[in-house]
Amino acid sequence: MNELAKITRWNPFKEFEDLQNQMRSLFALTGNGGPGLLPGGDEFADWSPAVDVSEDEKEYTITADLPNVEKSDIKVTQDNGMLTISGERRREQEEHKKTWHRIERSYGKYVRSFQLPEEIDQKKIAAAFNNGVLKIFLPKADGKKAKKLSGTEIPVK
């Protein structure tokens, strides 16, 4: 047999993919950009949705990408100045019959938490979900410091 046929060819893209997987594992262990702790327990989330946070003179807005998530699978809560978005993105059962070559989208439980600024009027927080995008509106209070509420669920419209 030819000795050249036994040599494994170097694939630089394979090395980049391996490095990416190692970095994902590293960040998952440290909690930065990887799975997070779900509120109220020690169970870990499978993924974290990407978010944007903006501010104007009247309010803060958190915009979260939740594609393929049902509104019923979204929970927004606040507890002692901490706002938490959690839920689950489910995979359709019929998709398991396919032969998969690559899966990059995340499924399962998700969570994101944010420390609310002190000037937020926590009684007026509102959330709306449309076309896979969750928007949470955090109006600023008239006074300097608003009272913190505990254990409140915010309805998603």
Q: Is 53 part of a structural domain of the chain?
A: yes
* Dihedral over alpha carbons 109, 133, 75, 137 (to 10 degrees): 140
Q: Is 101 part of a structural domain of the chain?
A: no
Q: Is 127 part of a structural domain of the chain?
A: yes
Q: What is the pLDDT of residues 21-72, one digit of tens each?
A: 777 666 554 444 444 444 544 456 677 888 999 999 999 999 999 998 999 9
Q: Is 97 part of a structural domain of the chain?
A: no
Q: What is the C-alpha to C-alpha distance for residues 85 and 115, in angstroms, rounded to an integer?
A: 12
Q: pTM (2 decimals)?
A: 0.67
CATH number for the domain spanning 128: value is 2.60.40.790
Range of the domain at 113: 11-90+109-154
Q: What is the pLDDT of residues 81-140, one digit of tens each?
A: 889 999 988 876 655 667 777 777 778 888 888 888 888 888 899 999 999 999 999 999
